[in-house]
Amino acid sequence: MPQWCLMNAGILISSCDKSIPAHLIAAARLNLPLLHIPGGSMRPAPNMSTSDLGGITAKLKKGEIGIQQVEAMQQCGCPTAGACQFMGTASTMQCMSEALGLALPGSALLPSTLAEIRRVARNRRPPGAVSGGEKYHHP
């Protein structure tokens, strides 16, 4: 798609262990100035984490819990957008993106709230990151 709309540069925001590699592969393939901003980590739930949600489907199928309990657990266990709160593959991919120099310094594992991501994107962007794309002409 970027070739069709003739992008000169781009900013990629992703959190998941599947979307981050997709963005990084696309960035390498497109040969454009691209910056990855990790989408951050989900805010912690009050009494549980996303790892607690692993067995709820089996419990539902066995009839141990009802659909209302499943929905309540999902809303409680995943209170905001972002990667799971534990150090899993999504968090590892965010750290890898930063370690490779493809993400802004200090941006991996930020809370996924939009205000925090905006603050980092504005305050830590490289000089000329926005205007630099206007001068870039890809082959």
Indicate the domain borders of the chain: 1-41+82-139, 44-79
The pTM for the full model equals 0.68
- Across the strands, what pairs with 111? 41
Whether residue 72 is predicted with pLDDT greater than 60 in this model: the reply is: yes
Percent with pLDDT over 90 in the chain: 17
Distances (CA, A) of 111 to 44, 80, 133: 9, 10, 28
Mean pLDDT for 20-35 is 87
How much is the average pLDDT of 52-58? 80
